[in-house]
Amino acid sequence: MVSYIFRRVLSTLPVMGIVALFVFSLLYIAPGDPAAVIAGDQASPADVERIRQGLGLDRPFLVQFGTWVWQILHGNLGTSIFTNMPVSAMIAQRIEPTLSLMAITLVLTILVAVPLGVVAAWKAGSWVDRTIMAFAVFAFSLPVFVVGYVLAFVFSLQFEWLPVQGYTPLAAGLWPWLQNLILPALALGTVYIALIARITRASMLEVLQQDYVRTARAKGLDTRNILFVHALKNAAVPIVTVIGIGIALLIGGAVVTESVFAIPGLGRLTIDAILRRDYPVIQGIVLLFSFLYVIVNLLVDVTYTLVDPRIRY
């Protein structure tokens, strides 16, 4: 197992290299010019050109790419064209809100979606199953920003229970931290809950038809034990897979959620950087997300061995 993990971690290096080349090339050929954005609307074309030269954007592709790779090999993600701050410092400023949002969403999703899916499978064909699946279809169809606005209207403006926007660091206390994350996590998690609930139901339905479940029932095991201890464990592999894939969805969804709830996370930083053509920041974030995704996939693979002893690496 240890050698497997080591090999998988090593295999991330070429993946990251390909991602780096791809992202850099894409940004190089994409239209847009950070110098024009910096110079502002009143600047003359000559001013824009001077700023471009000052930023080194007039240099050949290979020179720019080589400089960037050299910096990365030295642990330096570069400096933002706009803020003049190190990209790593900007990411450090923004990573806590995003990870917090993803963590709360993930916990919320698992706590809600898995039991819903299990119950739907258990009561397959009944009104309970139909209600849960109707909710899943409905939730799956809702754009994140609509859910966000509705939640903000109800819980912030009507009931005045929670703030509309912003983020409070965990260091300021658990409740202040949670207070700012509940609505965004609910908004972001709605689609994800629907997805996991449906997958859980499908996977459980298959397992519940197995002979050993019938045997367990015949032996007099109580339903809760059958569902959550025996059946769920055997149905877990596809669920864990989808949770892993869903983390990519969370990253994408965080971009919208952070904008709607004005959370200063990596999603908003990404959007701002793209709109301004802040190339070093875009490259740094994409590299980070690629790395995170590779690690999540690794964790998913490792989790398989925990839920299914037949799987060995």
| Distance in angstroms (rounded) separating the CA atoms of residues 199 and 4 | 28
Q: Is residue 21 a contact point for other proteins (CB under 8 A)?
A: no
| Distance in angstroms (rounded) separating the CA atoms of residues 138 and 140 | 5
Cα dihedral: 75, 81, 84, 88 (round 10): -30
Q: Are 144 and 187 in contact (CB under 8 A)?
A: yes
Q: Which residue in 21, 172, 306, 311 binds other proteins (CB under 8 A)?
A: 172
Q: Is residue 198 a contact point for other proteins (CB under 8 A)?
A: no
Q: Is residue 169 a contact point for other proteins (CB under 8 A)?
A: no
| Distance in angstroms (rounded) separating the CA atoms of residues 149 and 134 | 22
Taking the least distance from each CB to other proteins, the nearer of 27 and 287 is 27
Q: Is residue 96 a contact point for other proteins (CB under 8 A)?
A: no
Residues 230-259 that bind other proteins (CB under 8 A): 259
Q: Is residue 277 a contact point for other proteins (CB under 8 A)?
A: yes
For the bound state, the minimum distance from the C-beta of residue 50 to other proteins, rounded and expressed in Å, comes to: 4
Q: Which residue in 25, 83, 131, 215 binds other proteins (CB under 8 A)?
A: 83
Longest dimension (CA), the chain: 85
Q: Is residue 269 a contact point for other proteins (CB under 8 A)?
A: yes
For the bound state, the minimum distance from the C-beta of residue 258 to other proteins, rounded and expressed in Å, comes to: 9
Of 14-22, 118-126, 163-171, 228-236, the segment contacting other proteins by CB under 8 A is: 163-171
| Distance in angstroms (rounded) separating the CA atoms of residues 103 and 274 | 25
Q: Which residues sit at the interface with other proteins, rule CB under 8 A?
A: 31-34, 36-51, 53-54, 80, 82-85, 90, 93-94, 143, 145-146, 149-150, 152-153, 156-158, 160-166, 168, 172, 176, 179, 259-262, 264, 268-269, 271-272, 275-278
